[in-house]
Structure 1
Amino acid sequence: MTASLLPVLILHTGDPQDTLRDHHGGYAEQLCRAAGLRCGQASVVAVYQGEIPLSPAAYRAVLITGSPAMVTDHEPWSEASAVWLREAVAAGLPIFGVCYGHQLLAYALGGDVDYNPAGRSLGTRAVERTGADPLTAGLPDRFSAQMMHSQIVTRPPEGSAVLARADHDPHQLLRYAPGVYSCQFHPEFGTDFMREYLLRNAQVLSGKGLDVPALANALESTPLATGLLKKFLDLYASRATA
């Protein structure tokens, strides 16, 4: 089988609430859609439900979804996924992790993850580029991205490069090796999903001190962040070897 025929692995680590999933698709579906992957081009493996990916040689790239879980809970499926990711990095497989996937990949490679002392980050927020890289080439110094997280990478793995930061988090986009990246923000989320999440969870979020109407009104589309997924696949997935 040639590399171009190998699927992209979607390492599926969790899903949103049932109603949100029904309206907008699960996290794996949203990631596939944002990355421009058609039916048959991706292999979704729900590790949080006990499914196990094949060896890294079976895929041409990996995308890791977000999750309502926490990396610091050290769930058995998450720990097993971290071991697999270390093997995949060693094998030279291109990888892009998102939110939980960002934290899981950093943890797998020796970094630290914990709750953000600055608190929960939610809504459309500004991200600032801090380093040059083929993935971020052509982006403005600041761009908008959707965020929905409580934990962050508090210490990146040794040898990694910080490519973007935010006011509340200095490690928004990391490069660990050529073709191996992760971001704390959600390039796959659209404003419709974010708005419904905010409104459906308004009571709980308000109880945590968040101004839900203000967050909902400030939502904006984030095409530059979303475009990173397709650019990643264009840059690295077509180069993978079977």
Structure 2
Amino acid sequence: MKNKKIKILFLDIFTDNEALRKEIKAKVYRGKTYSEHVRGVFGLNKNQWLTLDASKGVFPSKFLDVSAIVIGGSAKDPVKGKEREWMRGTYRFIREAVKKDLPILGICGGLQFVVRALGGEIIYNPKGKEFGAINVEIKKSDPLFKGLKKNFIIPSNHKCMVGKFRPDAKPLAGSKMCSVQALALGDKIRLVQFHPERTRDQNLALAKMTKDNLVKDGVINSEKDYPEFIRSLKVNSKAGQIIIKNFLNNFVIGKN
């Protein structure tokens, strides 16, 4: 990492289900934690990366001295009526981060938690679950997408989406199944519904791990479609790496 002064807080909102955490660690991240994997994608040293497990429900009384916050994906749905107390505590923490004017990157569930924290609505996508290597179309140019073509392929896995949100949030990208794939909030907050941190192999591993749910969730029509679905995931794309590099260079290093 070219700027040794950078320190990022990874806000881990994945789940309070320890069994699921262990399964994902073993089957998807090959023995690493989700946070460890994301740190590697960002190319940061251990002393440049802090992790806060939001599912424990314990947040620091004094805000941490960090350059930016990355909020990862979540297995929990931040839909009204389904939120647990630790999720509401996370919303409060996010609001404090926004007050501190810190750069924030929200990934998938991270997008949804930020939207809820700031008074927006998250709903279940009426079109169903979006999972796979999806085609995202850039609707508005932004430093986050510098170097990308108008359409790019990237991993995705979510069943919720933005319903209503504040009018100053600018939609940046969309897909066939989800009209809001990226949001800009001011000049420091960027939220993406897809997974720029996830590799092709991790997407494949997750598909195999959740094979029994693919038909139930409507991702594929029947088990006969499974081989073709797996083939569709075997796409090499550098879009995620470019997006993360852009966030670091244009929103973190460029703001410090």
Residues 1:92 and 2:101 are matched in the alignment: yes
* Most deviating of 100-109 and 217-226: 217-226
Name the aligned partner's letter for residue 229 of structure 2: L
- Residue 56 of structure 1 and its aligned partner are, at CA, apart by 4.3
Name the aligned partner's letter for residue 59 of structure 1: V
Q: 2:78 corresponds to which residue?
A: 71
Residue by residue, what CA displacement relative to the aligned partner does 1:11-68 show, whole Å, maximum 9, x if unpaired?
Answer: 0011555233124133222222222222111100001123424644511000001011
Q: 2:11 corresponds to which residue?
A: 11
Q: Which has the higher strand share?
A: 1
Preserved contact between residue 93 and residue 240 of structure 1 (Cα < 8 Å): no
Runs (4 or more) in structure 1 with deviation over 4 Å come to 53-57
* Most deviating of 143-152 and 206-215: 206-215
Preserved contact between residue 164 and residue 172 of structure 1 (Cα < 8 Å): yes
* Residue aligned with 1:167, SS: coil
Aligned match for 1:121, one of 117, 125, 130: 130
List gaps (5 residues or longer) in structure 2: none
2:252 & 2:150 partners in 1: Cα distance? 26
* Most deviating of 96-105 and 52-61: 52-61
1:146 & 1:164 partners in 2: Cα distance? 14
Preserved contact between residue 136 and residue 151 of structure 2 (Cα < 8 Å): yes
Aligned match for 2:25, one of 13, 21, 27: 21
| TM, length-normalised to structure 2 | 0.86
Q: 2:111 corresponds to which residue?
A: 102
Aligned match for 2:146, one of 132, 137, 142: 137
1:26 & 1:212 partners in 2: Cα distance? 28
Preserved contact between residue 170 and residue 183 of structure 2 (Cα < 8 Å): yes
* Residue aligned with 2:197, SS: coil
| TM, length-normalised to structure 1 | 0.91
**Cα 1:54/1:174, change in 2 over 3 Å:** farther
**Cα 1:153/1:55, change in 2 over 3 Å:** farther
Preserved contact between residue 183 and residue 191 of structure 2 (Cα < 8 Å): yes
* Residue aligned with 2:247, SS: helix
1:135 & 1:55 partners in 2: Cα distance? 30
RMSD after superposition: 2.0
Residues 1:49 and 2:56 are matched in the alignment: yes
Q: 2:227 corresponds to which residue?
A: 213
1:193 & 1:4 partners in 2: Cα distance? 29
Q: 2:243 corresponds to which residue?
A: 228
1:198 & 1:180 partners in 2: Cα distance? 30
**Cα 1:222/1:180, change in 2 over 3 Å:** same
* Residue aligned with 1:170, SS: coil
Q: 1:60 corresponds to which residue?
A: 67
Residue by residue, what CA displacement relative to the aligned partner does 1:183-202 show, whole Å, maximum 9, x if unpaired?
Answer: 00001111111111111221
**Cα 1:190/1:53, change in 2 over 3 Å:** farther
Residue by residue, what CA displacement relative to the aligned partner does 1:126-171 show, whole Å, maximum 9, x if unpaired?
Answer: 0000012222233211001101111111223220111111011111
Preserved contact between residue 135 and residue 231 of structure 1 (Cα < 8 Å): yes
* Residue aligned with 2:180, SS: strand
Determine what percentage of the aligned residue pairs are the same residue. Answer: 26
What is the total number of aligned residue pairs between the two structures?
239
2:40 & 2:229 partners in 1: Cα distance? 25
Residue by residue, what CA displacement relative to the aligned partner does 1:56-86 show, whole Å, maximum 9, x if unpaired?
Answer: 4511000001011111122211111112212
**Cα 1:208/1:81, change in 2 over 3 Å:** closer
